[in-house]
Amino acid sequence: MSTRSPIVQQALAMLECQVREADALSSPDAVRDFLRLRLSELPHEVFACLFMDAQNRLITYEEMFRGTLTQTAVYPREVVKAALAHNAAAVILSHNHPSGLPEPSGADRALTTT
């Protein structure tokens, strides 16, 4: 269940349609701004993916995992399955910090270490 008003939900849906129809996510700043709009007001952690085509256009945005105020479980196998299902050429991974503290936690660092 979303905590956003129906008006905000509709605006986000319209934004996502516009992003899919144009080269709207053509820079890191544009990606950051889009994700900030999608994730900033959520009261819980979300791990989300932007699935991109071969021309780096958005196929779809998907909230893959939802957690608590301070953590969320992430299953890499499920991310790979979704990327293959969407026939994505690239994936942008993101998650929010509802606490407002942008510094990565130890768990954040462990997840992104190859």
* Class of residue 103 by CB neighbours under 10 A (exposed 0-12, middle 13-18, buried 19+): exposed
Report the pLDDT value the prediction gives residue 5, as an integer from 0 to 100.
75
> In 10 A of CB 93, how many CB atoms?
14
Q: Identify the DSSP state of 41.
A: T
Answer yes or no: pTM beyond 0.85: no
Is 66 contained in some domain? yes
Q: Identify the DSSP state of 55.
A: T
- Domains in the chain, number: 1
pLDDT tens over the chain, length 114 residues = 456 678 777 777 776 666 665 666 888 988 988 898 888 889 999 999 999 999 889 999 999 999 998 889 999 999 999 999 999 999 999 999 898 777 888 888 887 775
pLDDT tens-digit series, residues 56-70: 899 999 999 999 988
Is 1 contained in some domain? no
CATH number, residue 43? 3.40.140.10
Is 94 contained in some domain? yes
| Domain hosting residue 34, numbered range | 6-112
